[in-house]
Every structure is written in structure tokens, then in C-alpha cells.
Amino acid sequence: MEPIRDIAVVAFAQSDHRRTSDELSEVEMLLPVLHEVLDRTGLKAGDIGFTCSGSSDYLAGRAFSFTMALDGVGAWPPISESHVEMDGAWALYEAWTKLLTGDADTALVYSYGKSSPGSVRDVLTRQLDPYYVAPLWPDSVALAALQARALIDAGETDERELASVAARSRADASANSHAQLRGPVPQGDYLVRPLRTGDCPPVGDGAAAVILAAGDRARELCERPAWIRGIDHRIEAHSLGVRDLTDSPSARLAAERAGAFERPVDTAELHAPFTSQEVVLRKALRLGDGVRVNPSGGALAANPVMAAGLVRIGEAAARVHRGESDRALAHATSGPCLQQNLVAVLEGDAR
């Protein structure tokens, strides 16, 4: 289904993603990214029609941090604003729907995550079913390892292939100055078997921001806008034991609804924090060998939780802006073992 209004990603900026950022509060980490994304379009904060952000206070244990982050936007006089306790990709979805309604012509979307103050493996257990699962404290690596084992047992992959996903991602990231892990990284010991440290994303802090604009406004603000041809998100049952962990029907359905299967894409930015999840997504999203997957290095090179999905959309859009892609798929995930998935299809005008 064609969107009722042409909306594009017209600018993208991100921080350098780093293991720690002790010297910066969240708003201090975010501020330069907001300024950079606005500078790319020449817009001022007051020109933006709608602002939407994604973050989670649990990451840094800092209550209401998202309201303090608003200090970086310049929210006075009062702006039209919203927040999701999700990855910024879902904030972008909300902003996209706001622009579809015609209430706004431009939107600022940002997200940030500081995982360094806490233990993100344990923090993420708090998003699980509070009755049957969270009391067992199964950490995020353990749950991903259960999925990886299911894939290996099903003959869908093996540890060697997983290692090659890790190596390719970090090699690609050597061209990405923002990435946290760049170049060769040892595959390492088992963290939770069958996943080794190399199969897992780095833990770190970072922020990202995107500007959306509709129609002619987008053409004014960007030489080659990355038009959102479709975007959709779908979720699966929360109980891991009712899902087929070797597949991702929600990613496939989101891709179908976003129109991803109508024509081949040349590039895909996948939010696969674990190597095994790239295997699942390649199958679900029907990505052939001709598709350039995660030229940025993906989440295996930098995984600022709550921003890594928005970074995928931003990276895909930036490739369209630069003329390196004509049709790109961007994916974001949330929850354990790819529970919830968002897919966007971005296109540049013919050159």
C-alpha cells in the first residue's frame, strides 16, 4: 500500500558509540547529535513540527532521563512532542504517522542509550514476562544463545558461519568512524554457549537523530531524500516457548506490509545484535547474496541500546542520500530473540 503522503528521511547524525561516557550526562551526550542533524538541513529547533524520542530510564537507572534529554531540544515555548520507551525506530514510526496526518511537515526523531552505568544483560531481564520468566533473571545473551542453539540444531547455521558474520561486520565497521568495534576482533570464548563474545554486540553508550520531512519540504532540505516507501512493525507472542525461534514471521510480515518484497533492495541495514539473528533475518527478509548487508557494521559493531534500530534507518537513509543505494531496507528489533520487528523501505529518486 502506497503511503498517502511522501515522507523522507532528510538527515541523519549519530554520536561516536563508546564503551563508557562517564563525563557526560545523557543530554550532554545527545546535544551535539541534535545540533549536527539540524545543521545538515539548516533547520532550527523552532522550525520542527513534531519531535519524538525513544529511550529507557532503566538503562542508566536515571529516572525521567527522557524529560531531561528534552533540555537539549529547546522545548520552550512548548513544542509538539512525544516519547516512546522503545528504540528510536519506533519513535520514527510515530513521527511518520504524525506527518501522514498532515499535522506537521517536519519531524525530529532522536534516541539515546547509556548502558555503561548498569549491567545491560540484567537490565533487559526486566522487560520479560514478570510472572513466569523475569523471576529467573535470564539475561539477554542467554536468551539469544537459546535461539542460536535452535538454529544450529535445525541445520540453519553453524559456529563457523556465525564467526564469519562477526568478522564481516567488524571489517565493514572499519570504514565507520562512529562504530565501537572496528576491524578484527577475536571471536573469543563462550559467553553463553554456543555464543562467543565475538557473536555478541559491544556494550556501550550512544545517541542518534533523524529528521523527517514531507513532500516538497523534503526536496528543499535534502538533495536526494530517502523516501519512506513503506514502514511497518509486528510483534510475536511474548512467551519464547510458543515461538519458532529459527524463524521471524513478524519480520517477514512487517517487510511484506512495508512493500519490501515488491522489488529487490540493494542494501539492508539489519538490527541483529547477535550473529545468529542475522541468519534468521536474512531468511525472513529474503535477502539474497546480491544485497549489501550492514555496510555500517551493524549492531555487532555498535549497539547503543534504544538507538541502534534508529541508527539502522539512519545509515540506510544516508546511503541513499550519498547515492550509494537506490532502494534500501532498514530493520529494527525490540525484545528477546527478535520478538518485535520494524521494517522500512527507503528509496532515492532516479538519478
Question: In terms of DSSP H, where are the helices of 42-107?
Answer: 57-60, 65-69, 88-100
| Residue with cell string 496526518 | 101
H-run or E-run covering 210: strand 205-214
**Does position 209 bind another protein by CB under 8 A?**
no
Among 153, 223, 262, 349, binds another protein (CB under 8 A): 153
Closest to another protein by CB, 150 or 272: 150
Which three cell numbers, joined as nine digits, stand for 333? Answer: 528489533
- Taking CB under 8 A as the criterion, which residues in 236-255 touch another protein? 237-242, 245
- Shortest distance, position 189 Cβ to another protein, whole Å: 9
Among 31, 185, 228, 308, binds another protein (CB under 8 A): 31
- Shortest distance, position 237 Cβ to another protein, whole Å: 4
Among 7, 9, 37, 60, binds another protein (CB under 8 A): 60
- Shortest distance, position 145 Cβ to another protein, whole Å: 3
Strands 50-54 and 81-84 turn out to be parallel
CA atoms of 223 and 79, how far apart (whole Å): 27
Backbone angles phi, psi at 52, to 5 degrees: -140, 135
CA atoms of 106 and 268, how far apart (whole Å): 25
**Does position 11 bind another protein by CB under 8 A?**
no
Q: How far is CA 333 from CA 89, 139, 193, 336, in A?
A: 9, 17, 23, 9
User: Who's near 316: CB < 8 A, 6+ residues apart?
Assistant: 226, 267, 268, 269, 325, 328, 329, 330, 344, 346
Number of residues that bind another protein (CB under 8 A): 61
DSSP 278-322: HHHHHHHTT--TTSEE-TT-GGGT---TTTHHHHHHHHHHHHHHT
Among 5, 18, 40, 62, binds another protein (CB under 8 A): 62
Closest to another protein by CB, 22 or 289: 22
- Taking CB under 8 A as the criterion, which residues in 92-121 touch another protein? 117-119, 121
Closest to another protein by CB, 156 or 266: 156
CA atoms of 274 and 279, how far apart (whole Å): 9
Among 68, 163, 167, 203, binds another protein (CB under 8 A): 68
- At 65, the amino acid letter reads S
Nearest in space to 3 (alpha carbons), one of 331, 230, 343: 230
- Taking CB under 8 A as the criterion, which residues in 174-203 touch another protein? 190, 192-195
Among 5, 149, 168, 224, binds another protein (CB under 8 A): 149
**Does position 235 bind another protein by CB under 8 A?**
no
Nearest in space to 139 (alpha carbons), one of 205, 203, 64, 61: 203
**Does position 74 bind another protein by CB under 8 A?**
yes
Closest to another protein by CB, 141 or 313: 141
**Does position 164 bind another protein by CB under 8 A?**
no
Closest to another protein by CB, 63 or 175: 63
**Does position 28 bind another protein by CB under 8 A?**
yes
- Site for another protein, rule CB under 8 A: 22-28, 31, 34-35, 45, 58, 60-62, 68, 70-76, 117-119, 121-123, 126, 130-139, 142-143, 145-150, 153, 190, 192-195, 237-242, 245
